[in-house]
Copies of this chain bind each other. A is one copy, B any other.
Amino acid sequence: MTDADSKSGGLTAAQTAEIENTRANTAATRRATVPELEDILYLPIPVLDHGFVRVIDYMGDDNAVVQAARVSYGTGTKKVREDQGLINYLMRHRHTTPFEMCEIKYHVKLPIFVARQWIRHRTANVNEYSARYSILDNEFYLPAPEHLASQSADNRQGRGAVLEGEEAARVLALLRDDSTRAHDHYLDMLNHDEAGAVLDPARAGLARELARMNLSLNFYTQWYWKTDLHNLMHFLSLRADAHAQYEIRAYAEAMLDTLRHWLPATYSAFMAHRMGGAHLSATALDVVKRLLAGEPVGQPDSGLSKREWRELMAVLDREG
């Protein structure tokens, strides 16, 4: 590949042309088909500065979930429930297996530190670009100014205010300079220039599987990632959540939008029952009941720890 400058949205012109060619081909199928998802099939959704996520293939639609539930529950239920109602019911009661009957495959380009969080979701199929085998492009992530955040003072794994002025400029310069140098030296050790030509015939060149270790965690990699709908929603519930690191959340939000195109009824149930809402412990539920009965309750007589109390008040939008 060539360098990042010749790319648009993380893709080379040749790749963009290949996508357009692929999109121009259609075939007849007897399978369940979702026109709203076909509309965006193969198209890269830009994420971060050089990344993207794009849907490469899918299996099933909302009806596949309903159909699977009805095999479990047998005949006689069709008239009783509407499909949306059934999907809501499944979501609410965590009947997860019918959601496993749909499958989706993405092509994702993402920084290595994001890939390291993402890969922890084990129930998925992955094929990653191999830097043992091929040479990584000179593409690395630099946070946009509004995402260059300071360390949170009260949350050890969170962010605080955005860095500004000189400190922001200094951080960005350090990141850019170190990444650029890392890739320059990577090519140098490989004895290779950007275009793939040997630099110095007298040198052997370091093995690719070793040279890659000089690259930093903000370099981009890419993979095919395939999972079933249940595990996709589990991924999204954790990674599109406000507590997730911004960079992986940016991918999860793009994927949430692909879910909306793909399965509108499931998306609606997911947003109501999983992304929104809250789990209350037995003790927290007891506090709610006492409050509803008009009883004044404070943290000391709630049975909750101070932290649990704060969390409950936040869920209920109440002053502590």
List the interface of chain A (C-beta within 8 A of B): 1, 22-23, 25-33, 35, 38, 41-42, 57-60, 64, 67-69, 71-77, 85, 88-89, 92, 97-98, 100-101, 103, 105, 107, 111-113, 115-116, 119-120, 122-123, 125-130, 132-135, 141, 143, 148-152, 156-161, 163, 167, 171, 174-175, 178-179, 181-182, 185, 188-190, 203-210, 212-218, 222-224, 226, 228, 245, 271-273, 275-285, 288-289, 291-292, 305, 307-308, 311, 315-318
Say whether chain A's binding surface is mostly helix, strand, loop, or mixed: mixed
| Copies of this chain, whole number | 4
CB distance from A314 to the nearest CB of B (A): 12
> Are A151 and B119 within 8 A (Cβ)?
no
Cβ 8 A contact of A207, one of B115, B149, B224, B288:
B149
Q: How far is the CA of A33 from the CA of B85 in the complex (A)?
A: 32
Minimal beta-carbon separation of A233 from chain B (angstroms): 14
- Kindly list chain B residues whose C-beta atoms are within 8 Å of the C-beta of A112: 116, 217
A159 is contacted by which of B156, B209, B285 (Cβ under 8 Å)? B209
- Residue of B59, B148, B210, B283 touching A105 (CB-CB under 8 A): B59
A310 CB to closest chain B CB (Å) equals 12
- Is B190's CB under 8 angstroms from A151's CB? yes
Q: A57-B64, A71-B129, A161-B204 are in contact. List 17 more A-B contacts (CB 8 A).
A: A26-B30, A27-B29, A29-B29, A60-B105, A72-B127, A74-B135, A77-B156, A85-B307, A112-B217, A116-B119, A151-B208, A152-B207, A159-B207, A159-B209, A215-B216, A277-B285, A288-B316
